[in-house]
């Protein structure tokens, strides 16, 4: 089997081949690590590569196959962990000089589960500082670039995970999402990304944004996302907010079909700014739902406008968590993050409580739609990927720190979503992909994945002729990673 075949082999197929002794875990790990070594200087998807330990794990996995006996669902499959998540014995920098030398002594539950299922951790993927924005740069690790066109942003904050997925730097990658951080880069990079219902995947330590972070899979195929989530999901005593009960069997539900399912479609959620090319692609996706037998109605949701309280809560949480760092670290922190923290410091406790109350009451304006429909189809973001180095697209309002105007549309109103590739004609140098997410009521993630699997949205695996040419554009040395490995 050639290395090029291994780069884009789905995890489901690779795991099957390993069990049948048709593929060596060592061969797969070496192929992925070699591709990371070749492409990471351009993409900057990984901030830490654990090649030595990954190969040691791969050799152990190969020996286990030779011995026989039960193997985990992800036995021998390379995986990456976002650098916001703790990893035992591997530094977790969170994109910040503040934590340049931090090495945790424990794994969060979902990392522990991935390892127990046989996955091989090949490294940590890049994120903006503390995951504060939906872009892919940080003062510590530099700019992460879109494999479809390295001059464009990946989106964020799961920036490295999205770039790695699209470029074939391993089949499965972990992301996290509090305000679009899985969905935005998944849409910009043309991959499958799922923000599961809150608490479906345990969170530890507690997130920095008022229990708003969801951990989930970022993959090239829906089946790989379902497989990865089936390993990550489930309650754990380390997270008191985790959902009780065993998760659904996600992989077995992928082929059930969607005939008769009621789906609402809104191109702009009742008036949010959306670029015309984005709206056109998502309208095509809505028609695809109808072709597969779903009942699709275009609606104009009358959801409460939570944009102002979300901005307040966002900046206040970053102020509460990181304002104490400013006297020592201000000059080495992202200037936009510093401005966000300073903005958050001007709010009172009464302001915060009132804004949080509006945020929580928002569901009362959303619930009536989901009493009629199983899913709501909207654009993932208002725009396609824009040039690196910008906080906002050129045609959007500019601000010292506020990037929330163009982000994930469902997040603008507070809903969860599945991001998918919605543009078939992507090629190196062209505009990056467009996403079309499927917001759904809580705990209905299996239904959303089933829709993607059935092809209601274009299949996320990049066909051979449409895979991104990750090295298509040179990157100036000054823009690469700022810190040594």
| Residues assigned a catalytic role | 82, 157, 181
- Phi then psi for 262, rounded to 5 degrees? -90, 125
Question: 265 pairs with which residues across the strands?
Answer: 298, 377
Question: 90 pairs with which residues across the strands?
Answer: 87
Question: 419 pairs with which residues across the strands?
Answer: 193
Question: Is residue 351 within 8 Å of residue 308, measured between CB atoms?
Answer: no
Query: What whole-number distance in Å separates Cα of residue 3 and Cα of residue 20?
Result: 19
């Amino acid at each position: 089997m050639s290395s090029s075949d291994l780069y884009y082999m789905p995890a489901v197929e690779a795991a099957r081949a390993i069990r049948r002794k048709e593929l060596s875990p060592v061969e797969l790990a070496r192929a992925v690590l070699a591709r990371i070594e070749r492409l990471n200087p351009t993409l900057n998807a990984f901030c830490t590569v654990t090649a030595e330990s990954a190969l040691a794990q791969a050799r152990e996995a190969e020996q286990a196959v030779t011995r026989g006996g039960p193997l985990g669902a992800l036995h021998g499959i390379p995986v990456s962990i976002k650098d916001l998540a703790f990893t035992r014995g591997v530094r977790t920098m969170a994109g910040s000089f503040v934590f340049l030398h931090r090495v945790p002594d424990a794994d969060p539950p979902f990392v522990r589960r991935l390892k127990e299922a046989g996955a091989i951790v090949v490294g940590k993927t890049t994120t903006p500082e503390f995951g504060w924005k939906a872009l892919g740069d940080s003062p510590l690790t530099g700019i992460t670039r879109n494999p479809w066109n390295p001059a464009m942003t990946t989106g964020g904050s799961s920036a490295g995970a999205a770039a790695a997925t699209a470029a074939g730097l391993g089949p499965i990658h972990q992301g996290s999402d509090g305000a679009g951080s899985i969905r935005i880069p998944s849409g910009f990079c043309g991959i499958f990304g799922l923000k599961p219902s809150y608490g479906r995947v345990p969170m530890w330590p507690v997130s920095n944004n008022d229990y708003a972070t969801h951990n989930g899979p970022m993959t090239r195929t829906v089946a790989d996302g379902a497989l990865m989530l089936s390993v990550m999901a489930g309650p754990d005593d380390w997270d008191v907010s985790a959902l009780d009960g065993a998760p659904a069997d996600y992989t077995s539900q992928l082929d059930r079909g969607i005939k008769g399912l009621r789906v609402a479609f809104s191109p702009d959620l009742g008036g949010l700014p959306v670029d015309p090319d984005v709206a056109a692609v998502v309208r095509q996706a809505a028609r695809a739902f109808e072709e597969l037998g779903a009942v699709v109605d275009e609606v104009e949701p009358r959801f409460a406008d939570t944009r102002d309280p979300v901005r307040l809560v966002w900046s206040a949480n970053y102020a509460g968590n990181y304002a104490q760092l400013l006297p020592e670290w201000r000059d080495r922190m992202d200037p936009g993050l510093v401005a966000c923290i300073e903005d958050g410091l001007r709010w009172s406790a009464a302001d915060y409580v009132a804004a949080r109350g509006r945020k929580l009451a928002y569901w009362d304006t959303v619930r009536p739609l989901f009493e009629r429909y199983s899913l709501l189809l909207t654009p993932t973001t208002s725009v396609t990927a824009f040039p690196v180095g910008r906080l906002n697209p050129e045609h959007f309002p500019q601000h010292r720190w506020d990037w929330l105007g163009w982000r994930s549309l469902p997040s603008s109103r507070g809903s969860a979503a599945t991001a998918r590739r919605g543009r078939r004609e992507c090629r190196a140098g062209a505009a990056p992909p467009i996403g079309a997410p499927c917001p759904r009521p809580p705990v209905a993630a299996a239904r959303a994945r089933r829709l993607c699997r059935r092809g209601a949205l274009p299949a996320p695996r990049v066909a051979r002729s449409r895979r991104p040419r990750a090295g298509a554009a040179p990157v100036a040395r000054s823009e690469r990673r700022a810190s040594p490995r």
